[in-house]
Amino acid sequence: MSEILERYGASLMNAFGPPKLALVRGEGAHVWDDQGREYVDLLGGIAVNTLGHGHPAVVEALGTQVRTLGHVSNFFTSPQQVELAERLVALMTPADVEARVFFSNSGAEANEAALKLTRLTGRSHVVAMQDAFHGRTMGSLALTSKAAYREPFEPLPGDVTWVPFGDAEALAAAVTDATAAVVIEPLQGEAGVNEASSAYLAAARETTERHGALLWFDEVQSGMGRTGHWLASHASGVVPDLVTLAKGLGGGMPIGATIGLGRAATLFQPGNHGTTFGGNPLSCAVALAVLDTLERDGLLARAAQVGERLRSALAQDPRVTEVRGQGVLVGLTLAQEKAPAVVAAAQDAGWIINATGPDRVRLAPPLVLTDADVEAFVAAWPGLLDAAGVEPAAGTAP
């Protein structure tokens, strides 16, 4: 074990378990550990490192901004904060709908802000999805379905009803005139990349409008071009009342955004919510550089292309029983519950991926992943399954 990994347990709280690696350097989609070993990062900091590691645009924006103006608090604003809000409104929302942004530091905080905002409707009931993950703060945790995450911290805020993901009838039955909001991840990342159909999102829009409830899309993991669209929900044409963003927005810098559309744009009033670091010039400058680079380099189209190649190629192995996702957010279901073993075999072979369940593997690489890395992983995939002892499902030809 490396010295850093040995020191970790003596100084950090055991909230995550022992780290798998001590990483010290990154370039593009590649990272190196403290022993000098190289890995291809197909997890991207869990969909955070949109432009990979050490991207010149991020480095330049961060260096320029920190030399100019670092932090001012929200008694004041900065050109970077205002420009980023304007850009997000223009890219993420229809031109004929009023929209405004609240900046925070993370996805959990973006969702926390959205949850507080829904209370300003005068209602408190929220309908969330089974297998949902919205964060670990007390409010966002209250919306997260996994009992093992929630139960140690109960009682939690809110009156929450969970319904099966994708079941429009169950959703319609759960929403009432007392419902403040329905929250949906168009792609459930932590559940293994479960996809909401366009028809389901449209049904959710109809149900919420009928009862006067807000429709909230959590795009923390699926937004920022990862699916080939600025938002995963854009492909459906459904316009929500709330959108939450984070992860890929900052390209590695901590930033979250809660976007309110229509009546939700003006629910927050002075004193309703706050943040010390949210919308700081550093994070906003980097987020603007990320947006500029995504547009200039055509990386949304690139995400769609790379994702299609990964899904079609990896699905050819009979030991993969299902492939899900859009763009470079990819979920793979294995014929046996050996996903952790596949992750371990991948790390041994120089690939970073992760397991979201006993039989589910997730890929969320940087949008700058090269063709050479894609083809190398496709070639390595059968060997990783071999090393993990994954076999075809019964009755499937090898």
Residues annotated as catalytic (active site), given as ranges: 133, 218, 247
Q: Are strands 360-363 and 354-357 parallel, antiparallel or unpaired?
A: antiparallel
Measured CA to CA in angstroms, residue 284 lies from 12, 93, 277, 295 at distances of 29, 19, 11, 17
DSSP SS3 for 387: helix
User: How many Å apart are CA 1 and CA 34, to the nearest integer?
Assistant: 10
User: How many Å apart are CA 126 and CA 114, to the nearest integer?
Assistant: 11
For residue 209, give every residue at least 6 positions away whose Cβ sits within 8 Å of its Cβ, in sequence order, or none.
Answer: 215
Letter for the amino acid at 63?
G
Count of Cβ atoms closer than 10 Å to residue 357 Cβ = 17
Q: Taking a C-beta distance cutoff of 8 angstroms, is the pair 299, 230 a contact?
A: no
Q: Taking a C-beta distance cutoff of 8 angstroms, is the pair 236, 210 a contact?
A: no
DSSP SS3 for 30: strand
User: How many Å apart are CA 356 and CA 363, to the nearest integer?
Assistant: 10
CB burial of 48-86 (b: ≥16 within 10 Å; e: otherwise) equals: bbbbbbebebbeebbeebeeeeeeeeeeeebebbeebbe
Listed in order, strand segments (DSSP E) in the chain are: 23-27, 30-33, 38-41, 99-104, 125-129, 159-163, 179-184, 187-188, 194-195, 214-218, 242-245, 256-261, 320-326, 329-334, 351-352, 354-357, 360-363
